[in-house]
Amino acid sequence: MSTVPTGPAPTAGSAEHQAGGQIPGIKNESQDGNDASNQINWESEIQLVASLAKLQELERQIHVLRQSVPDGVLEPLVPISNSKASPLKSVAETPSLLRSELDKTARNRLSNIENFQSVWRGPELQPIWSHVEARIRESSGELLQPTGIWEMDYDILLKELLKAEKTKEKEAQREEEDAERVKAQSSEGEWGTIVEKFMQRNIPGIRIVKGQKPFSMGIALAKAGMILLVEGMKEADIPGVSEWQVRAKAPPGRSPTKLENSIMNCLNSRPRKWDLAFLLDMISSYADIKSTPCTKCTRLTNNAAQLPTIRRIQPVQISQSEQRIFAFDALHSDCA
């Protein structure tokens, strides 16, 4: 994008630093800073905009800190010097209380300055300063952006770029999923191979028995005390299974429990309903449900004495012998 400069814009505090060729608090020959900077892809537009947004925020904080002295430190004296300036601020009743307020205000302002200095010299900004110094040296000390002002709000621009990047990732993921679905539905016998590979993993507490109907099976979760019936649905002119449906099999004379219904609701609201491998991995995540704590609150039961029946797929899956294994986080309904 043509609106992104090749280096950070000078700020009210950075122009004089650029003239001197060195950033205060950052060593010129800092090996750690150079190493960190070299590991960053400075050709990335998002990286450049993110760095500019951080520097822009630093300048905003500088303008706020400039009010610390003398206005900020002397704030408790405002009601005394001008009673109309701050009608909601009461005047200290005694000199000792006024002194105490002045001390407290001074400490708070000093703490703000120290926090700012900590961020300025911190590891998050170090690679940026190193990159700025390198660009200044390359330009023989000339300003990277001669106008000396910010040309746009880089925080807003960063949000727009991240949103576009996320949209692009979702599109790529959707295309990948479509390709997987076509491949999975291209062979009616593929589902049996998927079941065999799953059974070879010998997951404790799970037993699978193929049903008498085509594309059907029963799955027993011994530790959870549940039996699930899985059946594949077909659509006209589409080979293989278009969707796998799950229901709980309760013993005669007993209705499904609240726990079973909660698990069924989660299983049947899953994504990738055409993906049997995904479904089997998701079902296996319930094998130890009575001893698996919630990922978020780390407790087994919540305040309503409910187990974590919600399953959320983890962003990174495991691959074993060219077979992808899906992993899930366990969550209470009120933690999801």
- Give percent above pLDDT 70 in the chain: 76
In a domain, 8, yes or no: no
Q: Is 10's pLDDT higher than 60?
A: no
Is residue 8 within 8 A of residue 144, CB to CB? The reply is: yes
Report d(CA 18, CA 313) in Å as an integer: 48
Instruction: Tell whether 104 and 38 lie within a shared domain.
Output: yes
pTM of the full structure? 0.57
Regarding beta strands 328-331 and 310-313, do their DSSP bridges make them parallel or antiparallel, or are they unpaired? Answer: antiparallel
In a domain, 240, yes or no: yes
Q: Which residue has the higher pLDDT, 68 or 111?
A: 111
Q: Which residue has the higher pLDDT, 5 or 296?
A: 296
Half-sphere exposure at residue 264, Cβ-oriented, CA atoms within 13 angstroms: 17
Instruction: Tell whether 217 and 297 lie within a shared domain.
Output: yes
What pLDDT, in 10s, does the model give residues 127-186?
A: 999 988 888 888 887 766 667 778 789 999 999 999 999 999 888 888 887 777 777 766
Domain boundary among 132, 148, 165: 165
Instruction: Tell whether 242 and 114 lie within a shared domain.
Output: no
Instruction: Tell whether 323 and 197 lie within a shared domain.
Output: yes
Cis ω before 87 (30° cut-off from 0) = no
What pLDDT, in 10s, does the model give residues 190-229?
A: 788 889 989 999 999 899 998 888 889 999 999 888 999 9
Instruction: Tell whether 209 and 311 lie within a shared domain.
Output: yes
Instruction: Tell whether 159 and 215 lie within a shared domain.
Output: no
CATH code (residue 286): 3.40.50
Is residue 307 within 8 A of residue 301, CB to CB? The reply is: yes
Instruction: Tell whether 112 and 237 lie within a shared domain.
Output: no
Least confident of 69-78, 190-199, 289-298: 69-78
Nearest CA to 286 out of 336, 226, 232 is that of: 226
SS3 154: helix
In a domain, 72, yes or no: yes
Instruction: Tell whether 92 and 218 lie within a shared domain.
Output: no
Instruction: Tell whether 290 and 149 lie within a shared domain.
Output: no
Q: Domain of 233?
A: 190-331
Report d(CA 175, CA 178) in Å as an integer: 5
Instruction: Tell whether 26 and 160 lie within a shared domain.
Output: yes
Is residue 58 within 8 A of residue 119, CB to CB? The reply is: yes
Instruction: Tell whether 232 and 113 lie within a shared domain.
Output: no
Q: Is 233's pLDDT higher than 90?
A: no
The rounded Cα 222 to chain-centroid distance in angstroms is 35
SS3 219: strand
In a domain, 173, yes or no: no
Report d(CA 195, CA 279) in Å as an integer: 11
Q: Which two tokens stand for residue 24?
A: 């205060």
Nearest CA to 158 out of 24, 278, 44 is that of: 44
- What domain count does the chain have? 2
